[in-house]
Amino acid sequence: MRCVFDKCYDAVNCANGELSFGFYYSEKQNPDSSIHIHDCCEVLLCMHGGKNFLINDRVYDVEDGDVFIMNQFEAHKITFDEGKRFLRYVMQVHPQFLYEMSTVQTNLAYCFYARGKNILNKLHLKSDERERLIATIMSLKKEQPFGDDIIKTNAAKEILVMLNSAFIRQAQMERAEVHNDAINKAMDYINANYRDNISLEKIAENSYISVNQLCRLFNRYCGTTVARYITSKRITEAKKALLSGRS
């Protein structure tokens, strides 16, 4: 049962095709350059070289060792420092696997879907937790002669238990996003009005900055343009509507 790959594409296909999970590790500066979403949930452990991470309407600073968790509806894009190796471990897990592996007492999907003002996509793992996470992922590369699927499924469950425990532990902590009032105001306005034909001028006016400042700050903190963010927001919301049966 192969579940560790060299490319994100293969990990996603494994998770979706088997309704289970897939992992990959990379040191290359080749993340998806566009704002994107997957059909599965994602866990990204950034070990080195990350800069900013845009997830839906929040922009997070990325520090070495940070973990980010996203569900299939949360559009995201990570930026990295030029000239540095971009080291990260990624887990893709299908929502159905989360629900099938959960129990009445333990909801493994909780950290992916519990959202709110003071609830973050960014996790700070303890050093021993981070080391255990990496060791578990690397151990999954080895094929076992017997019970390989059970061993790897149990390892994935252990990872999810650890992530949920860390998520619950820090749920009441202060927000760790980039504190830029103009960007926050711009995102709030876009998220409230994305269905309308909104202009750069209107967004800038509501953010109390010029259009040039808006574009410069958006590119700096989000690594993308305002227009692309609006398009991504519309696509994400349309996907939510389709999956929930709304027209």
pLDDT(95) > 60: yes
- Cα distance between residue 165 and residue 244, in whole Å: 28
pLDDT(4) > 50: yes
Secondary structure of 45-83 in HEC code, one letter for each residue: EEEECEEEEEECCEEEECCCCEEEEECCCCCEEEEECCC
Q: Give the tens place of pLDDT for each residue, 189-222.
A: 888 898 899 999 999 999 888 999 888 888 777 7
Instruction: Tell me the pTM.
Output: 0.79
What percent of the chain lies above the pLDDT cut of 70? 92
What percent of the chain lies above the pLDDT cut of 90? 48
Q: Are strands 66-70 and 41-48 parallel, antiparallel or unpaired?
A: antiparallel
DSSP H stretches of helix in 57-199: 95-101, 110-113, 127-139, 148-169, 181-193
- The answer to whether 229 and 218 are in contact (CB under 8 A) is yes
pLDDT for position 85: 86
pLDDT range class, residue 142, cuts 50, 70, 90: very high
Question: What is the amino acid identity at position 194?
Answer: Y
Non-local (6+) Cβ contacts of 150 within 8 A are: none
